A and B are shown apart, each in its own frame.
Chain A
């Protein structure tokens, strides 16, 4: 799966959880500061991403995913590892 595919899938998830316009969801955007995703919404995003991309994202790793780009890279890595 390409970075573009993951970004597009993640954007759909963030849009569904928080109502953020898809076009705003770019790799440089910070979940908390730019997209208004708080820690609980982040859990919803992460679990939806686990289901969509077939990866595991433990709670301990979630706090390291500050930006959309961090999440895309993590999912790509985890997908390769799986």
Chain B
């Protein structure tokens, strides 16, 4: 019997570089309040958000992802032709098929890369990072480009008081490759489809086909249900990611949770009893909630501003529609 030869894996993988893209147009709370009955003060109190970015007309998730990816590639010193896989976390690429990843890989010149999308909403980037880590360690790829990108303005009802102020557009990317030391810890992940209605597209594509008069689908969200789950179910998941990586809270340089809402970020940080020296990502204030893009966008900005050190440890946790979640400890590039 002929044995199947298996791929030679790489011992460890790390994030080699990150990049982010924020659309040019800054949208203030005052502008959001032109369409909802709310105030700048109320929005800041409930979410911490002061402004977000909206993509330009015609600026697609592919355009934004390519811009972020080019920065991540430059930061990592890896050229696109050396990529073996492009993994894209997104829920706002408005083609059911083909995947955004194939178009992004093509635009980048990643001619020898496998390319696929991953639907895990706001947990998309951490799912992608876990997959990339295992692709490299398992020997299926040497260099993997992980992207989180969203154009949420396509799926938001600007008159919905519960969601209009929360979401924004943007892209973040990371290049993962082999390393001498472990740079990505074990992932703690899961999903609770029993709470699928907590954040959901409000009408399915086939229902839209049956009733062409229906408005374009938008996201609906039960804010209190999500808040309860995010704070009280996710803090133990973040703790487990620390435990499985053998890292104590005091060893961290940064805590970079999905930038859902500043209130969730603050409550999680409090639950985790993080020491004061751990820098907590608060990019949601300037960028809003960009779903799959929020963690790499925050990481890139914090590194760029010198708020967190290259080589330091960061705890990441993504959580959102599904309800899906994933958390891991990483060494910052």
Contacts and interface: CB of A to CB of B under 8 A. Distances in A.
Interface residues of A, number: 9
Contacts of A40: 46, 223-224, 227, 263
Interface residues on B, range: 10 to 19
Contact of A47 (B45, B228, B263): B228
A43 to B, nearest CB: 5
Interface of B: 45-46, 222-225, 227-228, 231-232, 263, 267
Interface of A: 38-40, 43-44, 46-47, 59, 62
Q: Is the interface of B mostly helix, strand, loop or mixed?
A: helix
B228 A43 contact: yes
Given A40-B46, A44-B267, A59 B224 contact: yes
A38 B43 CA distance: 12
Contacts of B232: 47
A43 B224 contact: yes
B279 to A, nearest CB: 23
B229 to A, nearest CB: 10
Contact of A38 (B45, B222, B228): B45
B212 to A, nearest CB: 35
Contact of A59 (B45, B228, B231, B267): B228
Contacts of B46: 38, 40
Contacts of B222: 59
Nearest to B261: A40
A7 B222 CA distance: 29
B257 to A, nearest CB: 16
A58 to B, nearest CB: 10
Contacts of B263: 40
